[in-house]
Amino acid sequence: MADKKKKNLPPIAQKYQSFQDKREVKRPVVKNCIKAFFVGGFICFIGQLITTFYIHFFHFTEQTAGNPTVATLIFITMLLTGFGVYDRFGQFAGAGTAVPVTGFGNAVISACIEHRTEGFVLGVGGNMFKLAGSVVLFGVFSAFVVALIKTLLSNWGVI
C-alpha cells in the first residue's frame, strides 16, 4: 500500500518520504510487547479475582461469570478515567490497557466526559460511541454473519 501511495507523489515528495522513513524513530517493539504482556496479564488476573468472587458468592458458573466481571471492570475504569489515571497507564502499556474490556470502557467514558461541555443531549449522547462505535459495529455484524451461517448449516443438517 505504501508503494502505491509513493508512486502518485511528485519526485520531491518521494524524496521527502524516504528521508522521513530514514529519520523515523524505530518503535521498541519487543519492549512494548513485554509491557503489554504484563499489564494485560495483570488486568486479566484482577478479572480472574473478580470472577472467582462472583462464582463463590453469587453462584455464577465459569461461563456466565464473565458478564458481571466485565461490568465491574468497566465500573473501575470509570473511576480511573474520571480521576485521569487511566490514560497515564495507557501511555505506558499500549495495547495492554486497550485490548482488555477496560479499553472499551475507557473509550466510551472518556468520550462522554470530554464532550460534556457540549451539553448532555448533543454532546454526551451524540459522541458516546464515537471511538467505541467501530467495535460495536464490526462485532455485531461479524456475529450476525457467523450465527447466520451456523444456523443455516444446522438447519440443512450439515453440522
Partner 1 sequence: MIFFWAFVVGGIICVIGQIMFDVFKLSPGHTLSILVVAGAILDGLGWYDPLIDFAGAGATVPITNFGNSLVHGAMQEADKHGIIGVITGMFEVTSSGISAAIIFGFIGALLFKPKG
Binding to partner 1 (CB under 8 A) within 118-137 occurs at: 120, 124, 128, 131-132, 134-137
Return the residue of 3, 59, 117, 158 that touches partner 1, per CB under 8 A.
117
Identify the residue among 9, 13, 122, 146 touching partner 1 (CB under 8 A): 146
27 binds partner 1 (CB under 8 A): yes
77 near partner 1 (CB under 8 A): yes
Q: List CB contacts of 94: < 8 A, sequence separation 6 or more.
A: 32, 35, 36
Residue 16 grid cell: 521527502
CB of 89 vs partner 1, minimal distance in Å:
13
Cβ-based neighbours of 7, under 8 Å, separated by 6 or more = none
In this structure, are residues 45 and 31 in contact, taking their beta carbons and an 8 Å threshold?
no
What's 59's DSSP letter? -
Q: Does 95 bind partner 1 (CB under 8 A)?
A: yes
99 binds partner 1 (CB under 8 A): yes
